[in-house]
Structure 1
Amino acid sequence: MTSADVLVDARDAARTYGRGPTAVVAVHGATFQVRAGDRTAVVGPSGSGKSTLLHLLAGLERPSGGRVSWPGLDTPSAESAPIHQIGVVFQGPSLIPALDVVENTALPLVLAGVPEGQAQRRAQASLHDLGIAGLARRLPEELSGGQAQRVAIARVLTQSPRLVLADEPSGHLDRATADHVIDVLISAVDMLGAALVVTTHDHAVARRLAIRREMHEGRLIAPHGTQGPQS
């Protein structure tokens, strides 16, 4: 394995909120690697630190201790996350209410400086690839929970990232809708050829992915699945 195979490398990464006796440790010294092509689930109950860990891997939060780096991705510096190469599917509603589906899907490209017409064409293509082109002109308030999550996945697909991080993407959905959203997510990642990390409290979702890590009270437990212990 070369360093280019390791897309994100967390070494003893910790995250503490607050100071003194009221400080809350959300993540205790997590060591975690994501390699090209990985399909990883991080399983644990609500409040176990899964979302915080995902935010550290995405570079959305800085560790209070240890480090997170992205050796296999193009970064402006060792301390900066390559946000253009990481796609995040957030837990819960993440669409802008005033924008329709195609505008929401195109938004990250527009913010990155892609001309609006080109961004919308790429967004339309992603919606078509995921079988939801018919939703293009609907507003978020007109979508079901499952439809909104599929649009969030289409938005990630439009960015063509090399690493996709999904935070409880099926957490608020019924079983049938959850299964469909996970199908869509895995298909989208396969189309991209990207690595995938999903946080979930649902063991049925976790079993869909080859590598499983458990998290309890902010601590990662030894991995299960096709990959041996990470160094």
Structure 2
Amino acid sequence: MSADETLATCSETLVTCRDAALAFGRGAQAVVAVHGANLKIRAGDRLAVVGPSGSGKSSLLYLLAGLERPISGDVTWTGSLGAYDIGLVFQGDSLIPALSVLENACLPLVLAGRTETEAQEAARAALDRVGVVDLAERLPEEISGGQAQRAAAARVLAQAPRLILADEPTGRLDHATGARVLDALLTAADHTGAALVVTTHDPAVAARLTVRRSMRAGRLLTPEETP
């Protein structure tokens, strides 16, 4: 069995990387962030991508999400996977400053055509799951960084996407709060059958996902190379 086939859990492949590479800058100044990654993500997969800061974990997630295009190789998505079927929890601040926490959580649902009532119900339920529903009417500048991270996770959970990509979702949170956010991501993925990919440098977080792959200096290690 090849390295990129070890994540087989369900029949439908959602996204495939074949020798996908990503670089920033040009010429002699170019920095290669991902070297020839090979990976398949199937519905129901639970994957932790582990590595230190700067190892290329975030860049790999951006390739999987379609936010960056590979400079070589390719990334392909199943034809049944729509734009709103992919939810990305960013590592840094990602809430829209002019919108309340609730409005931020509602936005992807409204853009996808849900009614305001449906969007608010789903958003409030997601905010409650990560413990920030009491902050629903506040602006991002009125909450802490950790609370903003939880609200950003809720925005993705409210979408009920088929592929959840979470970039260090517990990195700015204390242990108990981080565990709650990870619980919510895992529960949401279990409920919908979504694939969940989490980047992390925390072994305790990685241990809660079924499959672990390591990144070192932009290279996605094979399962045999992963500690």
**Fold-level match, TM-score > 0.5?**
yes
Counterpart contact for 2:89–2:169, Cα < 8 Å: yes
Counterpart contact for 2:149–2:172, Cα < 8 Å: no
Q: Return the alpha-carbon distance in structure 2 between the equivalents of residues 154 and 16 of structure 1.
A: 31
Corresponding residue number in structure 2 for 1:62: 69
Counterpart contact for 1:91–1:169, Cα < 8 Å: yes
1:46-90: per-residue Cα shift (whole Å, max 9, x none)? Answer: 11111110000001111111011112x525xxxxxx321100000
Corresponding residue number in structure 2 for 1:150: 150
1:51 and 2:61 correspond: no
Q: Return the alpha-carbon distance in structure 1 between the equivalents of residues 168 and 107 of structure 2.
A: 22
Q: What code does the residue aligned with 1:177 have?
A: T
Percent identity of paired positions between Structure 1 and Structure 2? 63
Number of residue pairs matched? 217
Q: What code does the residue aligned with 2:160 have?
A: S
Q: What code does the residue aligned with 2:139 have?
A: L
Counterpart contact for 1:153–1:188, Cα < 8 Å: no
Corresponding residue number in structure 2 for 1:112: 112
User: Compared with structure 1, are the counterparts of its residues 95 and 144 closer, same or farther at alpha carbon in structure 2 (3 Å cutoff)?
Assistant: same
Q: Return the alpha-carbon distance in structure 1 between the equivalents of residues 129 and 173 of structure 2.
A: 22
Q: What code does the residue aligned with 1:60 have?
A: L
SS at 2:105's partner residue?
A: helix
TM-score normalized by the length of structure 1: 0.85
Corresponding residue number in structure 2 for 1:133: 133
Counterpart contact for 1:150–1:184, Cα < 8 Å: no
Which consecutive unaligned segments of at least 5 residues does structure 2 have? 1-7
Match of 1:29 among 32, 36, 40: 36
Q: Return the alpha-carbon distance in structure 2 between the equivalents of residues 112 and 184 of structure 1.
A: 22
Corresponding residue number in structure 2 for 1:203: 203
Which consecutive unaligned segments of at least 5 residues does structure 1 have? 76-81, 225-231
Aligned positions of 1:79-228 closer than 5 A? 82-223=82-223
Counterpart contact for 1:161–1:194, Cα < 8 Å: yes
Q: Return the alpha-carbon distance in structure 2 between the equivalents of residues 26 and 165 of structure 1.
A: 18
1:14-37: per-residue Cα shift (whole Å, max 9, x none)? Answer: 011222211111100000111111
Question: How many Å apart are 1:154 and its aligned residue?
Answer: 1.5
1:83-135: per-residue Cα shift (whole Å, max 9, x none)? Answer: 21100000021111221111010011223343434322332233344454322
User: Compared with structure 1, are the counterparts of its residues 24 and 218 closer, same or farther at alpha carbon in structure 2 (3 Å cutoff)?
Assistant: same
User: Compared with structure 1, are the counterparts of its residues 141 and 188 closer, same or farther at alpha carbon in structure 2 (3 Å cutoff)?
Assistant: farther
Q: Return the alpha-carbon distance in structure 1 between the equivalents of residues 116 and 185 of structure 2.
A: 25
TM-score normalized by the length of structure 2: 0.87
User: Compared with structure 1, are the counterparts of its residues 2 and 43 closer, same or farther at alpha carbon in structure 2 (3 Å cutoff)?
Assistant: closer
1:134-178: per-residue Cα shift (whole Å, max 9, x none)? Answer: 222122223233332222122112212101000011112233332
Question: How many Å apart are 1:222 and its aligned residue?
Answer: 1.5
